[in-house]
Amino acid sequence: MVVASLKQKIMKEYVGDRMKAVIPAAGLGVRFLPLTKDMPKEMLPVVHKPTIQYVVEEAVSSGIKDILIITGRGKRSIEDHFDRSLELENVLGNNGRTEDLEEIIRIANMANIHYLRQKVPLGLGDAVLLARQHVGNEPFAVMLGDTINLSKVPVVKQLIDMHAELGGSIIAVEPVSRDKVQDYGIIKGTNISDNLYDIEDLVEKPSPEEAPSDMGITGTYVLSPRIFDCLERTPPGRGGEIQLTDALRLLSKEEKVYGLKFEGRRYDIGDKLGWLKTTMELALEDPELGPQLSEYLQLLMAQQR
């Protein structure tokens, strides 16, 4: 028993250590125009950090050391954010702003970050397929660049641990309301346990009538490398784009694909309301900003009445 659990612990650490993450961040951000005309939605600030920094930090705190970000035209500021800025470092150093200096150097040294550009916006599936050569023949994580997860155990770590136990591919899912199913990939599966589904089918953004369940794909995945073959065979789907969900559908016919109802909260900053809610909620939780913001919001609400 002890040996078995020790073995499992070693296995989990081994898998986490070797696993690469792919962060697709090439989307055009059309739900947030005109702001995203020239600015990546992944760089939208949530309190004091750009969204994609939360994503990279989740990967790093899960033991992932190698990250490939799929970018595109107009996304240069993402690379600059994770790069050293010697000029700024000099100024901060000379002004004795040691904490800020340490923080910006930490951000630049967090992980081995690689970049690849998706030249034509052909969809999430196409962006993931671009990672094939970098990833090789190993399971890997996919974490959407516009989705923030907050949890005690990082969500991608929860998936990595489940993968170490079960193998196959694991997708983070959560219940979504009926009127929102058309914004998500939706799974059809049977319960293995309270929070785990054996996935039989998946549909990208179905109408409420077509939706096979209310369990939505939230944007964090641990995938078998076989997904690349499936992506090669996936024709354009919803919106004329190559959909990762359609490739997962093919994969689920060939290998095990599980859905994990993870522990934690997920925020999608890709649309205006989602971003506002995320910013408010996280700012309210911030020990410095929270109390003052809460007071201000209460005042504002009272004036609205």
Which residue's CB atom is positioned nearest to ligand G1P? 185
Q: Which two tokens stand for residue 23?
A: 């962060």
Q: Which is nearer to ligand G1P, 124 or 230 (CB)?
A: 124
Interface segment toward ligand G1P; rule CB under 6 A; list 55-63, 67-75, 238-246, 274-282:
238-246
Q: Confirm or reject binding of residue 237 to ligand G1P (CB under 6 A).
A: no
Q: Which is nearer to ligand G1P, 139 or 216 (CB)?
A: 216
Q: List the one residue from 143, 217, 222, 227 that touches ligand G1P (CB under 6 A).
A: 217
Q: Which two tokens stand for residue 2?
A: 């002890």
Residue that the structure tokens 């997860």 belong to:
149
DSSP letters, 244-273, are HHHHHHHHHHHS-EEEEE-SSEEEE-SSHH
Q: List the one residue from 29, 216, 237, 274 that touches ligand G1P (CB under 6 A).
A: 216
Interface segment toward ligand G1P; rule CB under 6 A; list 8-16, 43-51, 86-94, 212-220:
212-220
Single out the residue of 217, 223, 56 nearest to residue 128, CA to CA: 223
Q: How far is the CB of 144 from ligand G1P (least distance, A)?
A: 6
Amino acid at site 277: K
Q: List the one residue from 228, 268, 274, 282 that touches ligand G1P (CB under 6 A).
A: 268
Q: Confirm or reject binding of residue 184 to ligand G1P (CB under 6 A).
A: yes
Q: List the one residue from 50, 63, 219, 274 that touches ligand G1P (CB under 6 A).
A: 219
Alpha helices in the chain (DSSP H): 2-18, 51-61, 76-81, 86-94, 98-109, 124-129, 132-135, 155-166, 227-232, 244-254, 272-285, 290-304
Q: Confirm or reject binding of residue 204 to ligand G1P (CB under 6 A).
A: yes
Cα–Cα distance list, 149 to 17, 27, 195, 232 (Å): 20, 19, 17, 29
Give the burial class of 31: count Cβ atoms within 10 A of its Cβ; 0-12 exposed, 13-18 middle, 19 or more buried: middle
List residues binding ligand G1P (CB under 6 A): 124, 144, 147, 184-185, 204, 216-219, 243-245, 268, 270
